[in-house]
Amino acid sequence: MPGVRISARSAPPQPPRVTSHPAAQRGSAMAAAAEAAAGGGPGSQPAAQRRLRILSGHLQRSPASRAPEPERLLSPSQCGAGGAAERPVASTIPKKRQEILKWNGWGYNDSKFIFNKKGQAEFTGKRYRLSGMVLPVLKEWMEKTLGASLEHKITSRAFLNTSDVPPSIVNEEFLQDLRATKISYSQEAEDRVFRAHGHCLHEIFVLREGMFKRIPDIVIWPGCHDDVVKIVELACKHNLCIIPFGGGTSVSSALECPADERRTIVSLDTSQMNRILWIDEKNLTAHIEAGIIGQDLERQLGESGYCTGHEPDSMEFSSLGGWVATRASGMKKNIYGNIEDLVVHIKMVTPRGVIEKSCQVPRMSTGPDIHHFIMGSEGTLGVVTEVTIKIRPIPEYKKYGSVVFPNFERGVACLREIAKQRCAPASIRLVDNAQFQFGHALKPQVASIFTSFLDGLKKFYITKFKGFDPNELCVATLLFEGDREKVLQHEKQVYDIAAKFGGLAAGEDNGQRGYMLTFVIAYLRDLGLDYYVIGESFETSVPWDRVIDLCRNVKERIVRECKEKGVQFAPFSTCRVTQTYDAGACVYFYFAFNYRGISDPIHVYEQIERAAREEILANGGSLSHHHGVGKLRKQWMKESISDVGLGMLKSVKEYVDPNNIFGNRNLL
Amino acid sequence: MAAGSSRLGAPMYSQKELTSKKRDEFEDILEERRQSSDLRYAMKCYTPVIYKGLSACKPSAIKDSVLQSEQVQYVIKQLSKEMGESTDIIQEEAIEILDEMGHNLHIGAIRFFAFSLSKIFKRLFQRVCVNEEGIQKLQQAIQEHPVVLLPSHRSYIDFLMLSYLLYTYDLALPVIAAGMDFLGMKIVGELLRRSGAFFMRRTFGGNRLYWAVFAEYVKTMLRNGYAPIEFFLEGTRSRTAKTLTPKFGLLSIVMEPFFKREVFDTYLVPISISYERILEESLYAYELLGVPKPKESTSGLLKARKILSDNFGSIHVYFGQPVSLRTLASGRIDRCPYRLVPRHLPQRLSEDIQEFVTDVAYKMELLQIENMVLSPWVLIASVLLQNLPAIDFELLVEKTLWLKGLTQAFGGFLEWPDNLCANKAVTSSLALHSNIVSLVNGQVVLNDVRVEDGATEELVFKRALSILMCGAYRNQLLNVFVRPSLVAVALQMKQSFRKEEIYSCFIFLRDIFSDEFIFFPGIALKDFEEGCFLLTKCDVIQVTPQEILVTERGNSVAVFLAALFRPFMEGYQIISRYLSKETKEAFTEKQFILGIRNFAFQLLQSGSTQCYEVLSSDLQKNALAAFVRLDVVKKMKTTNGFTYTVNKEEFNKTAEMLDSRIPIRKLVTARL
């Protein structure tokens, strides 16, 4: 299932920790982890480091930069040691991503679901709360819900066969120019394949069983804004196609290379542009290179006692630039806002030149906001290189929670009321019954008889004493953040509202496990793929009054389409409300089915996904809330934003990039 | 042809599989009733399957939720603002409307009906035949999505019978939209209410509150999956046994929850109920002749008891395949205008949607027609009416058998008693309808239409009565025959072979008769092709790219087919003549009907026409509507109703078209 944007609520490299704990403790844990990851590197003295960088910025202004604007002088848009020399800022994800990430699935090499010798499911590795645990009921759930069987296994290729990979065709003159810039690059097959895809189901399927028709010819790693300027200039000079690459977590086919692209395709990997250039504590902003990935950003800001609070589900891997380019949304947007609320300033390199605003102000009335041409442009206009983003002090206190509702309708009504009173916690999510049961399938083996007794008691209380139908009830998971006192007060307010809708508080642990599920589910897809089960997620936003109808109809449509397409076992089709707004909500769907007996599962799957999207649109939902359009949902753009709207976007593209250098063909 | 193009994208109307339409087998449900206790049957354990999403609720809870709904509250607030009255008063009014309207489904009443209807039906009818496969499909459908039952409407028996059948098969009882006139019947009205009927005023166009409450009431029951909703597309009982053109109001109400995606899908189930002998046959004939229908009253019902001693033959109820509204809409109404407006606001249907609703209505009626069972008597009546005043019995049998073959070739759903020889089958049909026909000295005669001299008004009336009653059975054949027949009529009118001319004449006929017969809108060409196809199949005509030629063998068939529709042709001609000669400047419908009735009586008395059916008020109204549609007559709204004036210029054109080469008696034209 989807992958994507699955987040690791608990920032991945951390050791398992207790639910509610003072932030200070968390900070130190983070620092420790960071130290471990960076090998005690320079991350430990951020302030000094920062000062140094600012100085060097003053000293070495790049000759390529244009008319110096006041704030430009302060902004070190060039790399520390000049050119593309490796810098000491350590990222969790190395330049050679394949060293720690799976080449044909989601996440880290060391983390995956397996069935152990006893036939029990287990999650390997040490990175997550669930790591190293046995999940005794997962197997039964897979058999019952998806009709999967351990006897029917289909494994992926064990390694990438480099002879299958399309050859790299790069013209020698360009290579000479490129070498002259000293910017790092690679033409190796593994590097190129790794950047030829996102995490859509069909992409992963191809990795496991086939090969892409077209992949990037060369991967280039700029080290700073100026490097990007040089690369874009070279691309214009040699007429190349650039596809920017951030964290590679796209689920909209945005990274897929157009099969008929004849020009050399450059994958512009921003991962080495990952410095926090400065932090402005007076205005609570930070200026950051766009290639930084979410977990590194939060960890490094944490060292100074700050956070952005932007936590999309994919934050372990996705990058700041990617968030800007896709209009990302974070789980805790209720406190911190979505990316469009967080961004104060953006610098983007386009074939026309660099676009940015002249000041870093909270708001301005200077015609349409140019940031809104950039946000959601999905790599069609240029590369985002630097971003000034709002930061907040790390909250003192954090607490999970959960509420059980007798049915989904009541749960939605409660979320609506909470949104109406504008008292939503940092995060509030409502999962339907199917997902609730799925959550139970991921319960680790209980440590003691006492816990299992307690679980039994709780279940008895809810179903027998309170009369909730176990096949109807659903759960909301909550995350509160802030001052300890305010959090407790806030918590009470929310639980009081919930009670009016028949909701019963169901404990912190359920809440936390709910959030954990979000990142685990992405790993789970790889397990499913081994047993003829394919799945995906998709999302939408919808006005409040249509939430229930949309959820029901889309799920029903999936079931119906599966039946019509000859899927033999009823699909797993489930949804959750993941964000609340004043005027509506964001709804996230998962669906998975067993494809044994179907000759072309990907085709069938795509038809069903398309039908589901049609259903969403017919029900008054949007084309996308935060995944973006990419190439996967392009066909509906016109009806989504009208002919004129599309024409406006096209004319911007026409002006900014007349030769289609940024030729990933997303969106338009 | 151009007319068809606008809807061509929509595969709403598929040409029926004319060759071998497979239909389900029938089971007689009365057989079991005759063998076991009615009381036990009425008290049986009744646990119908229910809609999967049903949230169980009482009738009163439904009323409450209707009253509290955003839709109704919105209208209440609007009205209060406009009229300056407090919302409380309007709310009171809404409650009254709801109480007047609401059903009160109650198992006790149902058991009472189950018992008494068993008794009554067993006395009235020989057999009540049902296709059990259809019942099974319905049972499946009820569990999946909200269901709307759309039966044909020929008799008051229709909805009693349907509820009775659903009870018999342990299916959820429908709630039924019934006319308010029933409420006037003491006790019975209340009993009907308790057996699931809800009542609607016949007209409530202007009353926004009524409309809002009514629409919301229906939709609430539908959305909850409370019970199947049943109503009659035809709006009222067809007095002529021809299918009436559909009404769209209720249909668009029940479709709306799907348009707004409040439900995933809705099943529409066409149901065809055919009577070998219609209970109200003579009543209808009187009504058509202008003797007003008695108001529904309980005492009237009691008086009608005497019919209990009569035999009304068999009833066939055919439950059609449930039609998924979602499937119908797919590709047509994928997106809805409701996406940009809050769904509770009362909204005019967009043209697209109106067109879609219209198409669905016609499609459903065509499906009803397709599965309407035709009895031997229908064939006999058709033959007889072309051979007045009398026909030799042997000849009648022969011609009936011939017509049986033709009907089957045209895809008619004939229930012929295979175990009987043709003679016996005809004899038993004649016996069943002895109030209309008699066998005298080997001659079959229509009662009251014997060759007698003198043509007093009373005699004319009596003859008309018999002919209209008989005609109501022939009419059951017409919708099956109308496409090939109109081709035959066009061939006769044009006396030409040129396909183009015949087609344009066909279009004219199809248009002018579009209130008489059911045509799917906008597909004249398809209808024409279907007519030609059927005629070709039966060797009546040969079609070349340019021409249509009647074969020698086929001539008699063509003549028969044209004659089948002669009463309508002649009727419309007479009316057109009346309009050209007799009318004053402006007239009301009432004046028109009176006028044409007098005019026709004169013609009939003088013997200058034999077209008794022109006396039918149904035909008269349809003709008037057709003339309005063709712009021959102008319809204007005045303070108290509508008035009409003849548009002289247009009129002559149409009259000419109608009259062209129609072999009515020349004499008539001459004398007029």
3-class secondary structure per residue, A542-581? EEHHHHHHHHHHHHHHHHHHHHHCCCCCCCEEEEEEEEEC
Residue A327 labelled as part of a binding site: yes
- The closest CB to that of A618, out of B262, B334, B343, belongs to B334
A567 marked as part of a ligand binding site:
no
Give residue-wise pLDDT tens across range A267-302.
Answer: 999 999 999 999 999 999 999 999 999 999 999 999
How many Cβ atoms from other residues are within 10 Å of residue A49's Cβ? Answer: 16
Question: B261 with A549: CB under 8 angstroms?
Answer: yes
By Cβ distance, the residue of A553, A614, A620 closest to B264 is A553
Answer yes or no: are the C-beta atoms of A525 and A148 closer than 8 Å: no
Q: Which one of A471, A541, A552, A564 would you mutate to disrupt binding with B, by most B Cβ within 10 Å of its Cβ?
A: A552
Residues of chain A neighbouring B143 (CB-CB closer than 8 A): none
Residue of A619, A640, A641 to mutate, testing the B interface (most B Cβ within 10 Å of its Cβ): A619
Shortest CA distance from B144: residue in chain A: A556
Q: What is the pLDDT of residues B109-151, one digit of tens each?
A: 888 888 988 998 998 899 999 999 999 999 999 999 999 999 9
Q: Does the beta-carbon distance from B342 to A557 stay under 8 Å? A: no
Tell whether residue A378 is among the known ligand binding residues. Answer: yes
* Residue in A408, A553, A615, A639 to test binding to B, most B beta-carbons within 10 Å: A553
Name the residues of A annotated as catalytic. 588
Examine the pLDDT at A15 and tell me if it is beyond 60: no
Q: Could you tell me the pLDDT band of residue A70, with boundaries at 50, 70 and 90?
A: very low
pLDDT in tens, B625-658: 999 998 888 898 888 888 898 887 778 878 888 8
pLDDT at A616: 96
Mean pLDDT of A183-196: 95
**Which residue on chain A is closest to B344 by alpha carbon?**
A545
Tell me if B261 and A619 make a contact (CB, 8 A cut-off). yes
A247 is known to lie in a ligand binding site: yes
Of A552, A553, A620, the CB nearest to B339: A620
Lowest mean pLDDT of A120-129, A317-326, B175-184, B648-657, name the range: B175-184
Given this model, what pLDDT does residue A252 score? 95
Least CB-CB distance to A614: which of B264, B334, B338? Answer: B334
Handedness of CA B613, B619, B624, B629 (dihedral sign): negative
Q: Look up the ipTM and state it.
A: 0.84
Quick one: what percent of chain A has pLDDT higher than 90? 73
Quick: pLDDT tens for A122-166.
Answer: 999 998 888 989 999 999 999 999 999 988 998 888 888 888 899
Task: Flag if A546 and B343 touch (Cβ within 8 Å).
Answer: yes
Q: Quick one: CA dihedral B212, B214, B217, B221, positive or negative?
A: negative
**pLDDT class for A75, splitting at 50, 70, 90?**
very low
Q: What is the pLDDT of residues B227-248, one digit of tens each?
A: 899 999 998 899 999 999 999 9
Alpha carbons within 13 angstroms on the beta-carbon side of residue B100 total 17
A218 Rama sector, left if φ>0, alpha if ψ -120 to 50, beta otherwise: beta
Residues of A in contact with B140 (CB under 8 A): none
In this predicted structure, the answer to whether residue A418 has a pLDDT above a threshold of 90 is yes
B265 token code pair: 């899908």
Q: Which residue of A has its CA nearest to B329?
A: A618
Is position A244 annotated in a ligand binding site? yes
- Residues of A with CB below 8 A from B343's CB? 545-546
Nearest by CB to residue B264, choosing from A546, A556, A614, is A556
* Beta-carbon contacts of residue A243 (< 8 Å; ≥ 6 apart): A195, A216, A255, A257, A265, A266, A267, A268, A379, A662, A663, A664
Q: Are A618 and B338 inside 8 Å of each other by CB? A: no
Minimal C-alpha gap between B435 and chain A (Å):
55
Q: Is A249 annotated as a binding residue?
A: yes
- List the single range of B28-37, B199-208, B311-320 with lowest mean pLDDT: B199-208
Chain B residues closer than 8 Å to A617 by CB: 335
Using the predicted structure, report yes or no on whether residue B665 has a pLDDT greater than 80: no
What confidence score (pLDDT) does residue A203 get?
94
* Chain B residues closer than 8 Å to A556 by CB: 264
Chain B residues with a Cβ under 8 Å from any Cβ in chain A: 260-262, 264, 334-336, 338-339, 342-343
**Chain A residues touching B339 at Cβ < 8 A:** 620
A537 confidence band (pLDDT: 50, 70, 90): very high
Suggest the residue from B261, B266, B343, B353 to mutate for an interface test with chain A (most A CBs closer than 10 A): B261
pLDDT greater at residue B639 or residue B661: B639
The model's confidence at residue A541, banded by pLDDT at 50, 70 and 90, is very high
> Which pLDDT belongs to residue A523?
93
A326 annotated ligand-binding residue: yes
Per the listing, tokens 């009647």 go with B550
Confidence of residue A336 (pLDDT cuts 50, 70, 90): very high
Say if the Cβ atoms of B264 and A557 lie within 8 Å.
yes
Lowest mean pLDDT among A49-53, A253-257, B95-99, B299-303: A49-53
Residue B390: the pLDDT is: 85
Mutate to test the interface with A, among B338, B339, B344 (most CBs of A within 10 A): B339
- The Cα–Cα gap between A89 and A46 comes to 10
The pLDDT value recorded for residue B667 is 25
A514 is annotated as contributing to ligand binding: no
Calculate how close chain A gets to B261, using CA atoms only, in Å.
Answer: 6
Integer Cα distance of B109 and A380 in angstroms:
70
Q: pTM here?
A: 0.86
Residue A145 known to bind ligand: no
Question: Residue B103 corresponds to which amino acid?
Answer: H
**Inter-chain CB proximity B261 and A614 less than 8 Å:** no
Closest CA to B104 of B55, B210, B176: B176
Residues of A in contact with B342 (CB under 8 A): 545
The answer to whether the annotation marks A246 as part of a ligand binding site is yes
A182 to chain B nearest CA, in Å? Answer: 54
CA atoms within 13 A on the CB side of A326: 33
Q: How confident is the model at residue A187 (pLDDT cuts 50, 70, 90)?
A: very high
Q: For chain A, how many helices (H) and strands (E)?
A: 21, 21
Q: Of residues B534 and B447, which shows the higher confidence score?
A: B534
A541 contacts in chain B (CB < 8 Å): none
Cβ neighbours of A149 (radius 10 Å): 14
Instruction: Tell me: pLDDT of B613 over 80.
Output: yes
Which two tokens mark A409? Answer: 């309708």
Average pLDDT over residues A357-362: 95
- Neighbour tally for A155: CB within 10 Å: 9
Where residue A28 falls among pLDDT bands split at 50, 70, 90? very low
Contact: A545, B338; criterion CB under 8 Å: no
A542 assigned ligand-binding residue: no
**Are the beta carbons of A545 and B342 separated by less than 8 Å?**
yes
Mean pLDDT computed over B586-601: 90
Interface contact flag, A549 B262, Cβ < 8 Å = yes
The alpha helices in A600-636, defined as continuous H runs, are 601-618
Question: From chain A, which residues contact B within 8 Å (Cβ)?
Answer: 545-546, 549-550, 552-553, 556-557, 614, 617-620, 639
* Tokens describing residue B429: 């049909």
* Partner residue facing B264 (CB), from A552, A617, A620: A552
Q: What pLDDT shows up at residue A448?
A: 61
8 Å CB contact of B335 and A617: yes
Alpha helices in B445-523 (DSSP H): 457-494, 499-512
Mean pLDDT, rounded, for A545-567? 95
A-chain residues near B338 (CB < 8 A): 620
Edge to edge, the sheet with strand B443-446 lists B390-392, B443-446, B437-440
Which residues of chain B make contact with A618, given a CB cutoff of 8 A?
261, 334-336
> Does the pLDDT of residue A517 top 80, yes or no?
no
Task: Identify the band that residue A497 occupies on the pLDDT scale cut at 50, 70 and 90.
Answer: very high
CB-CB under 8 Å, A545 with B261: no
CA–CA distances in Å: residue B219 to residues A551, B260, B319: 20, 11, 23
Q: Which region among A12-16, A509-513, A611-615 has the lowest average model confidence (pLDDT)?
A: A12-16
pLDDT of residue A9 exceeding 50: no
* Chain A neighbors of B332, CB-CB under 8 A: none
pLDDT band (50, 70, 90) for residue B46: confident
Mean pLDDT value across residues B156-179: 87
Partner residue facing B335 (CB), from A545, A550, A618: A618
